[in-house]
Amino acid sequence: MRAKGLGWAPYVLLIPSLVYMAFFFAAPMLQSFGLAFQDRAGDWSTVSVTRMLNDAQFQRALLTTLTLLVLVIPIQFVLAMSMALIINARLKGSGLWLYVFALPLGVSELAAGIIWYSIFTERGWLNSVLTGLGILERPYIFLNPQEPFWLILAVVLAEAWRATAIVMIILVAGLQSIPRDYLEAADVFGATTWQKIRRVILPLLRPSLQTALILRTILAFQVFATVIAIAGRGLNVLAAEAYRWYGDLRDIHVAASYAGLILLLSVMATILYLWLLPTREEQLA
């Protein structure tokens, strides 16, 4: 790294991104809270936040978002951990395995939602297989607004399918930074695979797990298009409510209240993870 000379050069190079981020990250974030604490006339008031809290859909949206989060994240971590360990085991064609497991990384929320809709819909693949095997006599209507169980299951599967890849990538990178000697040492001492995972890999993987958990949780609070594609208005989530208040109900202040709530939940979750999973400095090096 260059230590001396042209001391101002790096700052000049940073200016464009700093200005852009001040304009498109910091300012909107502050303005979001500003909008939330205004009424429709633009006067300071808590009426918009109160309207959000008292809205009939609010509790359902919050509860569904949290339910999805609690169901999806453990599934994703088990799947991602399995995939990452497989890649780290260096099977033949490990590059191909990595590519296949990473494929959903490029799939949008919306496309993933439609794909799983095509599986669960009345004349869809699941019903085709189940009637073909004789388990069902006639197709069952899984995606029925009256039955949130199947709607939630379909969304959970779609999200687990789509967004596991990102967790996997973070864990693979973490696994690669674990010195091979540690695992070989464990081998020499006759450790079983499970013991190696539990005693060597998981503790050393903590920073990666923490990063992945924070990222996935923040993204889970924003779940949107997958839900719309699978459940339509049958399920309510926070981001969809923000969209509804903005688009259908034309109340930007309540929409901003939802946005602020999502930010608040994201920040709280991040702090919680940092507190629950402290990582020692030397592990980060």
Q: Which listed range, 48-56, 62-70, 145-153, 261-269, lies at the site for other proteins (CB under 8 A)?
A: 261-269
Distance CA 6, CA 22 (A): 25
Distance CA 218, CA 273 (A): 11
Q: Does 149 bind other proteins (CB under 8 A)?
A: no
- Which amino acid belongs to residue 54? N
**Site map 109..128 versus other proteins, x via CB under 8 A:** xxx--xxxxxx-xxxxx-xx
| CA proximity to 255, closest of 240, 277, 273, 274 | 240
Q: Does 178 bind other proteins (CB under 8 A)?
A: no
Q: Does 247 bind other proteins (CB under 8 A)?
A: yes
Q: Which listed range, 43-51, 59-67, 82-90, 141-149, lies at the site for other proteins (CB under 8 A)?
A: 82-90
Looking up tokens 């009426």 gives 47
Q: Does 182 bind other proteins (CB under 8 A)?
A: no
First to last CA, the chain: 18
Residues 57-76 within binding reach of other proteins (CB under 8 A): none
Q: Which listed range, 45-53, 59-67, 102-110, 146-154, lies at the site for other proteins (CB under 8 A)?
A: 102-110
Q: Which listed range, 51-59, 62-70, 100-108, 142-150, lies at the site for other proteins (CB under 8 A)?
A: 100-108
Both structure tokens of 280:
């020692």
CA distances from residue 159 to 77, 164, 194 in whole angstroms, order as listed:
12, 8, 27
Smallest distance from the beta carbon of 86 to other proteins, in angstroms? 5
